[in-house]
Structure 1
């Protein structure tokens, strides 16, 4: 694979959808509770085993091992994002399998039909989640010992680049903060940390500083990681700073309006880091309809959407007024998890995958689309 720096492209045609709405600006808001969904109750499962509210409909876009847009769809589809592309859009999807993981992309026409599909990263290891950048690239993260971050081109034009400065650890997800010009990173370890990478030049991730979140209460601070690329086992990034805050199984990560939301499946919490006040609180502590918190995304309307790893295979909405409720449920897929939730640029279509589908195997992955009157 060629190693060369991406040229910045911030045109609308390549840019990921910006979320700048009214997500809870006060990250000290009380934890949410189960309540009525803004879309109403779920109906019975459709022909694909998908239960949706009235006015919504779903379809299968791709299946592992089957051809979509000229490409054989990858196994174990995981983290994903949507990018504007001309009059249509692109959905990128990681493959969480060893050695051959990588990333695939599906390009959609304006009417939602598939134009073509192609690979944008090959030969990498357990690509789990990641994050979109404001300059229109996809950060694909390896969830493995000393995992790496690759910056990829959703258009499939430029070669992917390994971003060594972002550290070697069991990477999960990434979320860009354009206000402070940094990238937040989660770590899927039982004692994982929450990181912040600040590039020397915004838009160029080839060099910069990796910090780790520290503190035990709501007031937190950042301290530099001395060795972001450790070679000795005892020097793993999460163990290098004694005051580092630890989270059980860091998962999805999403930034909007001064707050970075991230999930920890072992803690069963959705955390909120208020980047303005440098305060950390949890906005969901379990006890509602949401279980197995995993990938997370949001909309300009201020809603968060959280996918379940297991549980009863739901995607739940968390509203700014403190309500959590299911907006989609898959039946007959108890051996799977929901991954890669992402909205199309116009906010009318939600894409996601069932990583192991009805078979419970990485060869049974299914990628879906839901359309309907989502709040935007």
Structure 2
């Protein structure tokens, strides 16, 4: 069991209350302070005193601003990139279409990068007509030079000025999500039946990237990294019968204080004892089984004992816990990597009607990618739903951070990420143009009236 969780339970608090407080004890306040604050009969309320989320005090969403975005009072927005247009005036580089998963990096000069994937579909996925029926294999489309995905970066100066934009990965396809690694690279995958994972330099020095075959071939989504545990977790989202994966490495391949060489990492899939229903009522014991990884798509060699989580999306590692979302049932799960258990910490059924700031807000739904602060505040964006980025609060209610316009329908909110100083939040409307009109994607920067605590890696370190 995670030691923070064990201490909370010894002090008379339920494990579910602790997990729903999303590790404030591991962030800006000490465990002792958290437990002391939870000494009253209502820990979920009293914890707000020493470790209260700044998001808990944001008000309801206001009328749309000049960019068509609804924000709480005190928040402002600007457009930083539009698909098919040059983000930096005078540059020949144009922003990619279908912006999806994203992350941020610090720069040595005080600036930062925002990296975004291009979930552009092609014949590897059957296009938008039926993405589950590939027209051609990935190898065939690659040989024809028709792969249309990749990833790009926006470079900001220390004062927030957008100064450059460029490609960091090309000749890939349907790049959905990924992660900024602690060692300063970007890892992302292809969300197709026979997709690969790639690692590339966010500074753009080698846009060919490096293919990581040891991550298997399937519809890759987001990635989370446990350095101390020498494990990399990643989600699958393709046909509804999706699995949750990890790669584990030896000390030889991943030395202490270093980074993995990616030459020897065992691919494993999650097994929940008692199945998903046991996890809903968790904690349920888990185990990991080695899976076949011989170059064939995992869908051809699924082990029947592995547990299905329909539509796996976002995943994040924090203080010994792995949090991930499954869009098929709108759940958010927490894995205790030390205690080897899993349980649901959010479902629409568990959410009170409305929102603390607006009783008319619909429940969080269409849970997709997510990101977290160092204090455990979770931002979840919606695919479908109500085109919002939502904050999951310590008392497991949610408040809206923003609502993006979608005048034509069919878009989604993608690419949640904070700038290294914690004052700016980035996201995209994947299939929108300006002010919600039909388009191929638009990326926004939201400036907040306060800063949150985040730790972002140095690019190319």
- Name the TM-score, length of structure 1 as normaliser: 0.87
- Shift of the alpha carbon at 1:364? 2.5
Contact (CA 8 Å) 1:313, 1:338: kept in 2 or not? yes
Q: Paired residue for 1:295?
A: 369
For 1:96-175, list aligned pairs within 5 A.
Answer: 96-98=119-121, 99-158=147-206, 159-175=208-224
Q: What's 1:16 paired with?
A: none
Structure number with the bigger relative contact order (C-alpha 8 A, sep ≥ 6) is 1
Asked if 1:316 is matched to 2:390, the reply is yes
Equivalent position SS for 2:205:
coil
Residues 335 and 358 in structure 1, CA contact (< 8 A), matched pair in contact too:
no
Contact 2:216 2:297 in 1 (8 A): no
Shift of the 228–82 alpha-carbon distance from structure 1 to 2, 3 Å rule, reads farther
Q: 1:231 to 1:318 in 2, by over 3 A?
A: closer
- Per residue, is there more strand in 1 or in 2? 1
Structure 2 contact 179–188 (Cα < 8 Å) conserved: yes
Give aligned pairs, total.
349
Shift >4 Å, 4+ stretches? 25-28, 30-33, 358-363
Instruction: Pick one of 259, 271, 279 that aligns with 2:321.
Output: 259
Q: Tell whether 2:249 aligns with 1:230.
A: no
Aligned equivalent of 1:94, options 102, 107, 117: 117
Aligned counterpart, 1:52 = 71
SS in 1 for 2:264: strand
> Residues of 1 paired with 2:425 and 2:312: CA distance?
23
Greater helix proportion: 2
- Does 1:209 pair with 2:266? yes
CA shift at 1:76, angstroms? 0.2
Matched, 1:340 2:415: yes
Q: Are the equivalent residues in 2 in contact too, given 1:355–1:362 (CA < 8 A)?
A: no
Alignment gaps of 5+ in structure 2: 22-44, 46-54, 122-146, 279-283, 352-362, 454-461
Per mean C-alpha deviation after superposition, the further-off stretch among 120-129 and 204-213 is 204-213
CA deviation vs aligned residue, 1:56-106 (integer Å, no higher than 9, x gap): 111110000000132200000000000011210001000001321000011
Which sections of structure 1, spanning at least 5 residues, go unmatched? 1-20
**Structure 1 residue 311: Cα displacement:** 1.0
How far the C-alpha of 1:358 sits from its partner, in A, is 4.7
The answer (yes or no) to whether the contact 1:76–1:365 under 8 Å persists in 2 is yes
TM superposition shift of 1:298: 0.4
Conservation of the 8 A alpha-carbon contact between 1:310 and 1:337: yes
Residue aligning to 1:29:
16
The residue matched to 1:165 in structure 2 has which SS? helix
Question: What corresponds to 1:14 in structure 2?
Answer: none
Among residues 73, 92, 97, which one is paired with 1:75 in the alignment? 97
Separation (CA, whole Å) in 2 of partners of 1:232 and 1:131:
21
| Contact 2:237 2:310 (8 Å CA) reproduced | yes
Deviation at residue 227 of structure 1 after TM alignment: 2.6
Name the stretch that deviates more: 58-67 or 209-218: 209-218
Q: Following TM superposition, by how much is the alpha carbon of 1:179 offset from its aligned partner in structure 2, in angstroms?
A: 2.1
Cα 1:366–1:227 shift into 2, 3 Å: same
CA RMSD of superposed structures (Å): 2.5
Structure 2 Cα separation of the partners of residues 374 and 318 of structure 1: 17
